[in-house]
Amino acid sequence: MKAVPSLLTHRTVLAAALAALPGALFAQDAVLAPVEVSEQAYSETTVVVTAEELEATDARDTRDIFQGEPGVSVGGGGNAIAQKIYVRNIEDTLLTVTLDGAPQGGNIFHHQGRILINPDLLERVEIDKGGTVASVGPGGLAGSVRMTTKDAADLLRPDQRFGAMLEAGASSNEGHRYGGALYGKATDVLDFLLYANRSKTEDYEDGDGNEQPNSGSDQQSGLFKANWRLAPGHALYLGYQALEDEGVRFLRPHMTGFTGNNALAPQKLEQSTLTAGYRYAGEGFVEAADLGVFVDEAENTRTNTTAVFGKPAGYKYGEELHAQGVNLLLESRLGASHLRYGLNHHVREAEAINPTRKGVAGNTGGEESTVTGVFAEAAIPLGARFLLDLGARYDWYAYTDNHDQDFDSQGLSPNAALTLQATDALGFRLGASRTVRGAGLKEAFMIDNGPGPFIYRNVADLDPETADNVELSANYDDGRFSFRAAAFRMTIDDYISLVFDRAAPIPASRRNVGEVESEGYELAAGWRSGNFRTGLAVSYAHPELDGEDLSDGDFSLGVSTGRTWLFDIGYAVPAWNMDLAWASRYVEELDYDPAGTGEQTKDGYAVHDLYANWYPQGKDRVRVTFSVRNLFDKFYYDQASYGFDPARGIFLGYPEPGRDVRLDVSWKF
């Protein structure tokens, strides 16, 4: 029987990311001395959300994936297209976000989210808060989110050659979903997975019973994966993931209360990721290798119902994002030191769909950026109890904007960490990193929209952004009791943003606007005894731009939220093949002072969820999940959502859904 993992006892991970090593395909296990510190594929601060956790908590959208992670929040309410990820209150536009190694996201439109994924597709999600190590990839100023989809091996039972899965679910507020998968071993050396799902939601009700207009959607997703083992130690892999989200929404999808230029419009987001490559695991100087290529596409379209943005009623337009590239990761060992090294080459393009301003004031209607980087990192044991992690990457950035301006930059991004394993259970770590990110694609919506012909133009002297991250942490885990404490500080110099100056010849320009600073802490403790488990965590981050608190309108940068507490308690009932859990999230009231608005207050709130997982056959062939979200039907605005507008005296964003009773069933056979 699978229990719902504690939100705290399993999510501070020292070496869980070893599962991501290229050699994992060949099931080569690392054996570590019980007291000595061990090398790690990623930072010791990496946390992992597993497929088991996502299933046990009945996750259905981006918000559900991260709901139990200290220091991670998702704003946007229950409208999936509006949801944005914030890590330590910094928006995902400043993170490295990947799916199976392929860069994701890209800023389509600042009024909507950019990372949509069906949680059922995911085998794990890895999150770096703050700095990342060199091998994660270029440009992660404030951390990374790395999503990995399932393979056939993740679904097949040990004695099974072919399998299938059916799943269905319904929720009281307000929707249903269904899907299925076929998977197996076509031969002893070839396995495959084919999965499809459809999820349809209606406009949900908030905690006061008010229906939230145009919050529903029709979403379809699919996944194909295959692995072919050519010979011992050699394999080829192929993956394709696609998602389509469609609905009638406001032109500014995350603003239900905005009364200005915000007419309803049919909108569709289509995205797909194709990955392919070669993996090697064996002997010799190169012990493991992963050579992968990817193509990622995203298309966002809307059809005007009234004339807006200089486009008449009935006009269909939007944005396209394209990404393609190659990643090479090699692993070797020199004595006791573990080396990881390689290169990345990524090309990204943004284009306007059915543009009206192409050719106006030199607007080409498209942009392109490239980054080429090399990296190396080493885990160096220093005696029995110390581990020194050193790494660096050097990246060359090139960017041509929609006014044919060229921007070139390059820079070194080093990182280092020293870990002391004081005892079998207790460890301390001090880590620091510097990350350089060259100027790149602007928000795709800006290419063809705005109140003037020169709107959203880059200044000619756009400089790269540079982030410095420092973190001190302590970890204790004796198998029954666990504890983690971390204090961090982040600074981003030359942050790039849009500046409005309607009196100037160019009414809005994209430029380096100043310095972002954030500092805070995270504390978490967990206890497990027999079938009982519980955990408590608290997190706080205080980001500022040029000394001013962030406002909800600091799009593509971040948001201000209050101190957040997480509590969970769970109990497994083996005799009934059942696991029960309660999870609570409490966000304290926040008084803050964003630039230009005066002191503001965000109301605090406490929300409680219940989960029950039942395995009638004592294994994962049949799983029945019953959950109740927002148990007490609380009306509230998530503090990470676009909320109160002091100029208008009203709330503009979506409140969170009220009570939602869910029932999901999956059957593997």
Does residue 47 contact residue 66 with C-beta atoms inside 8 Å?
no
Compute the residue count for the chain.
669
Which phi and psi (to 5°) does residue 272 adopt?
Answer: -150, 150
**381 beta partners:** 387
CA distance 165 to 145: 28
**Residue 503's pLDDT band (cuts 50, 70, 90):** low
Residue 185 has pLDDT above 90, yes or no: yes
First to last CA, the chain: 17
Alpha-carbon Rg for the chain, nearest whole angstrom, is 24
CA distance 178 to 180: 7
pLDDT for 1: 44
pTM confidence score: 0.91
The per-residue pLDDT for range 465-478, each reduced to its tens digit, is 999 999 999 999 99
CA distance 84 to 558: 10
The per-residue pLDDT for range 346-360, each reduced to its tens digit, is 999 999 999 998 988
CA distance 502 to 169: 51
Residue 34 has pLDDT above 90, yes or no: no
Cα 95 to chain centroid, rounded: 8
**Residue 16's pLDDT band (cuts 50, 70, 90):** very low
What are the residue ranges of helices labelled H in 280-334? none
> How is the beta sheet containing 84-87 ordered, strand by strand?
72-75, 84-87, 90-91
Three-state secondary-structure class, residue 483: strand
DSSP code at position 551 = P
Determine what percent of the chain is predicted with pLDDT higher than 90: 79
Q: Residues 594, 597, 603, 608: is their CA dihedral positive or negative?
A: negative
The per-residue pLDDT for range 438-452, each reduced to its tens digit, is 999 999 999 998 766
pLDDT for 451: 63
Does residue 396 contact residue 412 with C-beta atoms inside 8 Å?
no
Does residue 600 contact residue 593 with C-beta atoms inside 8 Å?
yes
pLDDT for 27: 35
- As to burial, measured by CB atoms within 10 angstroms (0-12 exposed, 13-18 middle, 19+ buried), residue 335 is exposed
Mean pLDDT, all residues of the chain:
90
pLDDT for 452: 63
Lowest mean pLDDT segment, chosen from 191-200, 364-373, 584-593, 597-606: 597-606
CA distance 185 to 162: 6
Averaged pLDDT for residues 330-357: 95
pLDDT for 310: 84
Instruction: Give the H or E element holding residue 482.
Output: strand 481-500
pLDDT for 20: 32
**Residue 105's pLDDT band (cuts 50, 70, 90):** low
pLDDT for 153: 95
pLDDT for 619: 74
The per-residue DSSP string of 55-76 comes to HHTT--SHHHHHTT-TTEEEES
**Residue 595's pLDDT band (cuts 50, 70, 90):** confident
pLDDT for 453: 61
> Which one, of 203, 211, 307, 301, lies nearest residue 263 by Cα?
307
Q: Which residue has the higher pLDDT, 42 or 438?
A: 438
Determine what percent of the chain is predicted with pLDDT higher than 70: 92
> Which one, of 45, 9, 10, lies nearest residue 143 by Cα?
45
Instruction: Give the H or E element holding residue 66.
Output: helix 62-66
pLDDT for 257: 84
CA distance 149 to 20: 12
> Which one, of 153, 130, 133, lies nearest residue 141 by Cα?
130
Residue 551 has pLDDT above 60, yes or no: yes
Residue 4 has pLDDT above 60, yes or no: no
Averaged pLDDT for residues 625-634: 97
CATH class of 16-668: mainly beta
